[in-house]
A and B are shown apart, each in its own frame.
Chain A
Amino acid sequence: MELKIPSLSKNESFARVTIASFASQLDPTVEEINDIKTAVSEAVTNAIIHGYENEMGELYISAKITANTVEIKVKDTGRGIEDVEKAREPLFTSKPELERSGMGFTIIENFMDEVEILSKTGSGTQITMRKKIVPSTTEK
């Protein structure tokens, strides 16, 4: 599944709900679906605020399912992250003046099983995240 949407903050909700609906075919628990929603929201918000710095751009979001794992990619072609390791540190934010908590990547890493961040200054950022949905043996 692929989405291409403008980098508008009102699309944050659309993106997380759409990806959560896509992932629901794996029959996740309420907690798992909320984890996915929150992680997608963080990645999309990062692209809007940091990638495009609130200017217009395109967000490319894709999702696929392989066995019991959902893989989600959120990509922008914005300014990129200078120091990915630093950005991954809890509470680090390059925009404290905007009251950013600096918890975005920490939340993504805690709520998903695997996270890869590819970024190049001036070219953009791609976040790939995967979550394994453990099949329930009992009726949900």
Chain B
Amino acid sequence: MNIKFIYENNCIIAVVDGELDHHTGGKVREKLKKEIEKDLASNLIIDCEKLKFMDSSGLGVILGRYKELSAKDCNLILSGLRPNIKKVINLSGVDKIIKCYPDLNSAKSAVKEEY
């Protein structure tokens, strides 16, 4: 599981690569938390295009960061969800509180226009 951060305009783009489960979740949580705590941008896009697998442990990590960002009046956006991950996201209703875009470019455009 790899996670790479790119700063662009008012966005932190977290590119996640691999599988997000209970085993990898702790590391991903810490890395995201550390980046959020820097307070360098008010939008976090988690780009999931290279994320092959995610279960409810991943949901916990995402919801935890959503709460942290909301408390700072910042936004969390997801992009590039594969069908198997989208199924988990939709079943949990997370898509009703966190905006999901088909790819990173559309997420970046939305941030520019809406936030």
Contact = CB atoms under 8 A, between A and B. Distances in A.
B55 A41 contact: yes
A48 B22 contact: yes
A68 interface: no
Given A38-B88, A42-B56, A45-B55, A101 B63 contact: yes
Contact of A101 (B23, B59, B87): B59
A38 B55 contact: yes
A12 to B, nearest CB: 5
A47 B51 CA distance: 24
Contacts of B92: 90, 101, 103, 106
Contacts of B88: 38, 103, 107
A104 B56 contact: yes
A84 to B, nearest CB: 17
Contacts of B53: 16, 34, 37-38, 41
A104 B60 CA distance: 11
Contact-residue size bin, chain A (C-beta under 8 Å from the other chain)? 20 to 34
A49 B55 contact: no
B22 A49 contact: yes
B84 A103 contact: no
Contacts of A10: 23
A38 to B, nearest CB: 5
A contact face: mostly helix, strand, loop, or mixed:
helix
Given A37-B53, A38-B88, A103-B91, A9 B23 contact: yes
Interface string A15-38: 010000000000000010011011
Given A41-B55, A110-B91, A13 B63 contact: no
Interface string A83-110: 0000000100000001111111011001
Nearest to B65: A99
Contacts of A106: 91-92
B84 A100 contact: no
Nearest to B19: A13
Interface string B59-79: 111011000000000000000
Complex A-B, nearest 8 residue pairs according to Cβ-Cβ distance, in ascending order? A34-B84, A9-B23, A101-B59, A99-B60, A103-B56, A101-B60, A99-B64, A41-B55
